[in-house]
Chain A
Amino acid sequence: MLAASSLLLLTMGAHAETRPQYGGTLQISVREAPTTLDPADTAQQDTLASRNITKLIFETLVTTDDNDRISYGLATWWMFEAGGRSQSFQFRLRKNVIFHDGTTLSPAIAAASLRAANPSWKITSNTDSVIVECDPPCPYLPEELALPRNAIVKKSSDGKLSGTGPFHINEWHPGKKLLLGAEENYWGGSPFLHEIDIEFGKTFREQLVSLELGKSDLIQIPAEQSHRISTANVKLWRSAPLELIALVFGHDAQSAADKSLREALALCVDRASIGSVILQGSAQPDASVLPNWMTGYGFAFSTETDLARARQLRQEVRTAPLWAVSYDSADPIAGLLAERIALNARDAVLQLQPTKTAASDLHVAKIPLPSDPIMALATVATATGLPAPQINSGSAEDLYSAERELLATQKLIPLFHLPVVYATTKAVHGGLTRQDGMWNLADIWLSRQKTGSDRP
């Protein structure tokens, strides 16, 4: 009898580990050190970490589901109207949505938030809806509104930010620490986690040590380092390759000679060896802006090194300037990439000088792409200082054409697409991340050992 009872309890306990549990504090360490949580603050660098944090606190009118399709967010319905050259979208807001400060979400607040993020848009509101008028037309407005930067934010008179997301802000020390608490009254249902404690500005090594010591439950690790992580006590979560690594020039091509030199540089980069050695095979060598999984035509852009052609192009130019190529000094891989590309360039008699200083001719850029290809192209265009490409239908042909047009500017040389890799302790359960690398922390829970007696 006693043995049977013990076996039953053991079976129930084992089952409880796979069943969602409430409570616990999820410890997160990230390299980024944001100084504001305002998603509309364009001065802040757009990173996956900042997007993830935004989505924990704030929500957008529309969002993308796991299959990258637009779905409802704070809006429960929208309507599209075309009139002449302008277009208008009407978004009806979800009812009974409460901001963390207790205020009810209203169309006026939502419209004000969107206007703050997009001053050029004409945004109005009525009793239950927000109306956005576009002139010229913006057929992909819902996709754009799904971006975290268009999240609905309520700013109090003292500058405090309030959102409608599953977590509210308990403590905020800019650049150092953010403590979020579960929002019991969240319209989507209370998250399993009781708190999320995020520490900023941690190096990869510090994050890894913190994870191994159990002080962190979730860290983001460089994709090329993922093979070094022992999976005995750690779970790895990998997104689709959606972080673009590219060489981005600081200015447009000035002359035919400049264009030839840029083309020569693009041809001499040995993506294969960089991908296999420096990035440890974790990256997808690409010469396209958008990853192949997103468009299906990425293979059409050749990644092969053509030193002969590069040298020929170089010889057509009398003198090649010394290009300073900068990189993020906090990112060791970026430095190695710059050095290797400089070596490759030397093979084509081009001179590149890696530097950590911001003043440079070109830089190694890491651009996190939204999962939507149109938004991704727009993001890249913005990041490289180019106008957003005009895409009519969103078909593969249109995307290809737009991408070709973007690359024809020779403002950037795409190199790789990297996945985003997260590591969590075994105590973290549930689906952590989606294909686009965004966290899904509202749906994960911690095992009993971790939750302790936080929650019953």
Chain B
Amino acid sequence: MNFRRKLLTVFAFTVVLSVASVAFLVSTLTRRAFARNEDEQSASLMAQFQREFDAQGKEIARRIDAIAASDAVAHMAATIDQGSTGSAGFFDLAKSLAENYQLDFLEFVDGNGTIVSSAQWAAKFGYPETAFAELARLAGQPAFLKHEDLQDSSALGMFAVSTAQVADHPLYAIGGRRLDKDFLAVLELPADTRILLYQNPASTTTDGSLIDSSSRDASKPSNADKLAPLINATRGTGRGVTEIVHWSPDAADDEMFHAIPLQGKVNAQPLLGILLIGNSRRSYVELERRIRASALLVGGGGILLVILVSSWAAARVTRPVERLAHAAHEVAMGNWNTRVEVEGTDELSQLADAFNRMTTELLTQKERLVQTERVAAWRELARRLAHELKNPLFPLQLTVENLLRARQNSPDQFDEVFRESSTTLLAEISNLKAIIGRFSEFSKMPQPQWQSTDMNEVLRGIAQLFRAQLQARAAKPIECVLDLDAGLTTISADPELLHRALSNLVLNAMDAMPDGGTLTLRSHHSDNGARVEIADTGSGLTPEECERIFTPYYTSKQHGTGLGLAIVQSVVSDHRGTINVHSEPRRGTTFVIELPRNPELTQAVSA
């Protein structure tokens, strides 16, 4: 990833992180605000419920007192006081009085706890009131919650107790109203809020035990099973519980329910009902969705904007760096004349200026080095020429002086001396010509003539050429091993030049193995072309020799010109290949040549 992309990524990530953080913060604050609002609404509703309960409780107590003080009840109490069984004349009195006083429940119970008349269960006369002892204690007290058993069900209601006393025989009037939908309907509910009353703390929750103030609203679900965990939790703890109820896969249908236990005073029933205040989460969910959508929109737009802005900014920042990088690459490729445009005076401009000065200095240094090397090369050439030419000249001088001395001192032997000296002179002159010829040959290396070349064939030809010389060294033979890759494909090369270069390497190898050994000619297929190895098991080279071995006129041999490996390197270089040497003293040397498959194309591209 380049610098510009990294910069873009950092900018984009920063924007996304910022938008996400803001969205998260807004969501969190919104959620808390909604939760606080729901809590306040629930508390307000509960307070309203309590106020309504108290108000209706007082009204119920007032009516029960009025019933207990009525003539009809006084007559009934008097009749019972006189020893009558009671119910015979009054069993339906409770019902008529309950209707008159608009009560849902009304029972008259005598001092023994026997029901004299019951409005809610008329047939129950003569049976004992199971909670009589506690109910009698609650006479005159404020209204209280109580479960009332009915013929085939039970109901939760607000009850009050009053007493009609005749002589020593009290008659209790126990009555009240249902805590039902009508009661809940009186409560003023905020929007998106509903109130439910779970009446019967039985083992299972059913629709019948739930009263929903908004059950007429078909859009509001009332599946009691969904509320069962909340109800069970409230029943289990006896404390208020708050839970979110999921009515459907759509989170907008969720409701936050506050379950508030309703305590009773009769029959040791601490939990008679549970008030369920449900707040729709639709507003919150929709707001949260809008926030999320806005965040996504802002984030997406921000990313696009960031890409545009940061592209422009990154371009401004990275363009000088890229120019520097490009210039450095050019320098690395050998183009030492590369210059970087300097704009402004900032750090990058200073860097560019420093780069320019560096390349200038490098170019100067290079020219100086080339000059030095050229001088050194000329010196070396002069030394070699002097050395090479000096060797034949000395015999020539001795031979001419010997001829002169023979002419003066031994004319009779002059002819013989002359013949011998002529032979020597010719030999040395020939030697001089050979030396001059090699130098001439090095200076006249031809350009490769490209053709499809099978390197295995080249190596076989070399092996065939040197087989006689290798076998001629019967005392200390050199074994020639051909290790050729059958899968090697042809490459574009000049087989004649390669033959000459590889022959030089074979000759060097033979020289390196005066005591015999193994010469290995190896070929390999490489990704880019072919690899050729010429390995011997000779005396090997020192690391210093390895470094200088391709320098022209350098030789480690007593009579070498130092041009052989220079010619090899020149040929390999003309083929756009590389040559390396791996050697260890007394273990042998291996020359590795890498040749490209299409050097002429490489050459054209390079050109």
Contacts and interface: CB of A to CB of B under 8 A. Distances in A.
B123 A336 contact: yes
B518 interface: no
Given A353-B152, A354-B151, A354-B152, A340 B88 contact: no
B123 A340 contact: yes
B105 interface: no
A47 to B, nearest CB: 25
B592 to A, nearest CB: 102
B126 A273 contact: yes
Contact of B123 (A276, A280, A343): A343
Contact of B125 (A277, A342, A353, A354): A277
Contacts of B125: 273, 277
Contacts of B91: 277-278
Interface string A332-375: 00001001101100000000011000000000000000000000
Interface in B113-144: 121-127
Contacts of B121: 339
Nearest to B125: A277
Nearest to B85: A276
Interface in A305-351: 336, 339-340, 342-343
Contacts of A342: 123, 151
Secondary structure class of chain B's binding surface, majority of residues: loop
Contacts, number: 32
Contacts of A353: 152
Contact of A281 (B88, B122, B123): B88
Contacts of B89: 280
Nearest to A339: B123
Of the four ranges (under 10, 10 to 19, 20 to 34, 35 or more), the interface on chain A belongs to 10 to 19
Nearest to B116: A277
B120 to A, nearest CB: 11
B578 interface: no
A323 to B, nearest CB: 13
A340 B91 CA distance: 12
Contacts of B9: none
A342 B122 CA distance: 12
B424 interface: no
**A270, A273, A354 pick with most chain B CB within 10 angstroms:** A273
A242 to B, nearest CB: 24
A354 B85 CA distance: 26
B87 interface: yes
Given A336-B123, A339-B121, A280 B151 contact: no
Contacts of B124: 343
Contacts of A354: 151-152
Contacts of A277: 87-88, 91, 125-126
Nearest to A280: B88
A354 B151 CA distance: 8
A276 B116 CA distance: 13
A272 to B, nearest CB: 10
A343 B126 CA distance: 11
Contacts of A276: 85, 87-88
A339 B87 CA distance: 16
B85 A278 contact: no
A340 B87 CA distance: 13
Contacts of A339: 121-123, 151
Interface in B83-127: 85, 87-89, 91, 121-127
A278 B92 CA distance: 9
Nearest to B127: A343
B287 to A, nearest CB: 51
Contacts of A278: 91, 123
A200 B412 CA distance: 190
A339 B127 CA distance: 13
A281 B89 CA distance: 10
A281 B127 CA distance: 19
Interface in A268-289: 270, 273, 276-278, 280-281
Interface string B150-194: 011000000000000000000000000000000000000000000
B89 to A, nearest CB: 8
A342 B152 CA distance: 10
Nearest to A338: B123
A273 B85 CA distance: 10
A319 B480 CA distance: 111
A334 to B, nearest CB: 12
Nearest to A341: B123
Nearest to A276: B88
Contacts of B151: 339, 342, 354
* Residue of A270, A340, A342, A354 ringed by the most chain B CB atoms within 10 A: A340
Contacts of B127: 343
Nearest to A346: B127
Which of A270, A277, A280 gathers the greatest number of chain B CB atoms within 10 Å? A277
Contacts of A280: 88-89
A327 to B, nearest CB: 12
A273 B126 CA distance: 8
A336 B122 CA distance: 7
Interface of A: 270, 273, 276-278, 280-281, 336, 339-340, 342-343, 353-354
Given A277-B126, A354-B151, 4 more contacts: A277-B125, A278-B123, A280-B88, A340-B123
Lowest 7 CB-CB distances: which A-B pairs, in order? A339-B123, A340-B123, A277-B87, A277-B91, A276-B88, A277-B88, A273-B126
30 contacts: A270-B126, A273-B87, A273-B126, A276-B85, A276-B87, A276-B88, A277-B87, A277-B88, A277-B91, A277-B125, A277-B126, A278-B91, A278-B123, A280-B89, A281-B88, A336-B122, A336-B123, A339-B121, A339-B122, A339-B123, A339-B151, A340-B123, A342-B123, A342-B151, A343-B123, A343-B124, A343-B127, A353-B152, A354-B151, A354-B152
